[in-house]
Amino acid sequence: MTDSPAVRIPLDPREQPILDKLLSIRTDLELLKGDRSTYVKSEDVVALYNQLIEQVAVLNELRTNRRNEQNRVDTVLDDCFQLISLSFLTIGKNHEAPAVYSAISTIKRLLEHLKEAAFFSPKDLESISTSLQKSRDYCERGRESYSPNFLTLLEARIQVCQDILSELELSLSHLTPELRPKYDKLVSILRSLSACNTRSKFPTAEVEDFRQQLVELQESFAAEGVVLLETEGTIDEQLAEMARKLKLSLEHPEPAPDAKNLIATLLSRCFLWIELIKQKQGKIDERFQETYDKLLEIRNKLEKLSLTQAWSLRETDLYSYQRQLDRIDEARVNGNFLDASNVPADLHAQRTLLYLLRKSYAIIYHLIISSEPVSEALLPIYNQLNTLKRCLVEVKKSGGIDSPRELYPYSMKLNSIDNMRVDGKFMVGSDIPDGQGSVTQLLEDCFELLYELRTEAEENQSDSEDDLVAKTEVAAT
């Protein structure tokens, strides 16, 4: 079991029974998560959620005057809520309030890392803003169904994320529509360079290509009065100064930084980062090799998951990755990665490790928001229908078909799926898994596309026959 970082505040003896019960709930949730012999059932997850909320109520009564206390009860409680949240996604209850918890926890980490890295694109913030609004909507919709204590906790966490997001949005508020695409390009290049820096073999040619793109951007910026910043010292010192300036603009956002200064700082930072990673050639300070290898392994596994998500991901699988990342993140001191002697990493190692940490959380965030509102029991059917729909859409885009006969394979497959329903429901044994509406809607979409293609083919065939008859009659006269 991958536990979250330990909190060493003494435990109130009255809270021991709560801790024992929470540990039992967490164990039950982990057993559900790890059992691949069957799918996760809604009634099991909801029952554990109700047990968890009972313990929250007892804890709140004990802590009437100690609302801000944090001890092991709170870390285990957070584990339980993370697992419950991911379990709600697994059973297809994506639009329910408990499903929000894990996404919000991940968003908070992402926002903190974006602020720390001191560069991000408007697109990053737009996606997060949309997710936060959806989370608010789910909380509002769940007022009659879920514990007020739980909803208050969620809304407080959403507000923390919103406050950080507002700071970041303000820092980019002076970007004009003309400058924004170029700024996005700079962010993309800097991230791509960081990715190159983590390759098993340093891609010198690719890095040089990015440097050439920066030169072209620099020339286009010059016409708009944007010039590289001049700083003194080593590359590490200059990069640290660039990051410091960008971070200061986030910490003191009033007034928002001038767009030209923002771009000049980021452009200068890109050139300096290229020089630094070319010197290092993908080699990290050996003091941090173990942390680097661990983060690299997590990122690579998550990237593989993102490629096969529709067919292989059980959302609760993300829990172990979240907890491993949390332990690494929370082991930092004042944002610094420390070695065994508590000596901070150099700037190259610091930025490389932070990139891998942020990238891993970003993939988890993408996997969570991309989760389909369908129980894993129905995912095989849902994925088949999704594939059929994409095929039919492509057939339609490419000009349709010549004969209705060409649709027979699609029609047979759809009919076989439709025949699986019992009284209009897709059953698994005697259970009716969540996500019936999503699967049924997808089935109807496929039948509608099939009907449109068949009708179009029949009309074309009829027109061809009419033309043939007309030509025959002309020939006969």
Q: Domain map of the chain by residue range?
A: 180-280, 379-476
Which residues of 302-394 form beta strands (DSSP E)?
Answer: none
Among the residue ranges 103-112, 198-207, 238-247, 427-436, the one predicted with the least confidence is 238-247
DSSP string over 304-327? HHHHSHHHH--GGGHHHHHHHHHH
**467 falls in which pLDDT band (50, 70, 90)?**
low
**123 falls in which pLDDT band (50, 70, 90)?**
very high
Whether residue 8 has pLDDT greater than 70: no
Q: How far apart are CA 83 and CA 358, in angstroms?
A: 21
The whole-chain average pLDDT of the chain stands at 87
Stretch 202-226: mean pLDDT = 87
The residues near 74 (Cβ < 8 Å, ≥ 6 apart) are: 7
Give per-residue pLDDT as tens, 39-92. 899 999 999 999 999 999 998 888 777 666 778 898 999 999 999 999 999 999
**149 falls in which pLDDT band (50, 70, 90)?**
confident
Report the pLDDT value the prediction gives residue 1, as an integer from 0 to 100. 43
Report the pLDDT value the prediction gives residue 367, as an integer from 0 to 100. 94
Report the pLDDT value the prediction gives residue 26, as an integer from 0 to 100. 96
| Residue 53: half-sphere exposure toward Cβ, Cα within 13 Å | 18
Angle at 304 between CA 298 and CA 310, to 5 degrees: 125
Report the pLDDT value the prediction gives residue 477, as an integer from 0 to 100. 57
Whether residue 460 has pLDDT greater than 80: no
Identity of the residue numbered 377: A
Q: How far apart are CA 296 and CA 292, in angstroms?
A: 6
> Would you give the DSSP letter of residue 425?
E
Report the pLDDT value the prediction gives residue 63, as an integer from 0 to 100. 78
The helix (H) or strand (E) run that includes residue 296 is helix 289-307
Residues paired with residue 338 on neighbouring β-strands, in sequence order? 344
Whether residue 95 has pLDDT greater than 70: yes
Whether residue 431 has pLDDT greater than 90: no
| Residue 85: half-sphere exposure toward Cβ, Cα within 13 Å | 25
Residues paired with residue 421 on neighbouring β-strands, in sequence order? 426
**229 falls in which pLDDT band (50, 70, 90)?**
low
Strongest mean pLDDT among 57-61, 232-236, 289-293: 289-293
**10 falls in which pLDDT band (50, 70, 90)?**
low
Report the pLDDT value the prediction gives residue 17, as an integer from 0 to 100. 93
Among the residue ranges 105-114, 248-257, 325-334, the one predicted with the least confidence is 248-257
Stretch 240-269: mean pLDDT = 69
Interhelix angle for 100-117 vs 235-251, to 10°?
A: 130
Give per-residue pLDDT as tens, 297-344. 999 999 998 887 766 788 999 999 999 999 999 999 988 999 999 999
Structure tokens at 301: 């596994």
How many angstroms from the chain centroid is the CA of residue 116? 19
Report the pLDDT value the prediction gives residue 405, as an integer from 0 to 100. 87
How many angstroms from the chain centroid is the CA of residue 128? 9
Q: How far apart are CA 422 and CA 27, in angstroms?
A: 35
Structure tokens at 294: 């661990």
Going by C-alpha positions, the residue among 191, 29, 19 that lies closest to residue 114 is 191
Give per-residue pLDDT as tens, 390-420. 999 999 998 888 888 889 999 999 999 999 9
Which residue would you say has higher pLDDT here, 249 or 37?
Answer: 37
Report the pLDDT value the prediction gives residue 465, as an integer from 0 to 100. 53
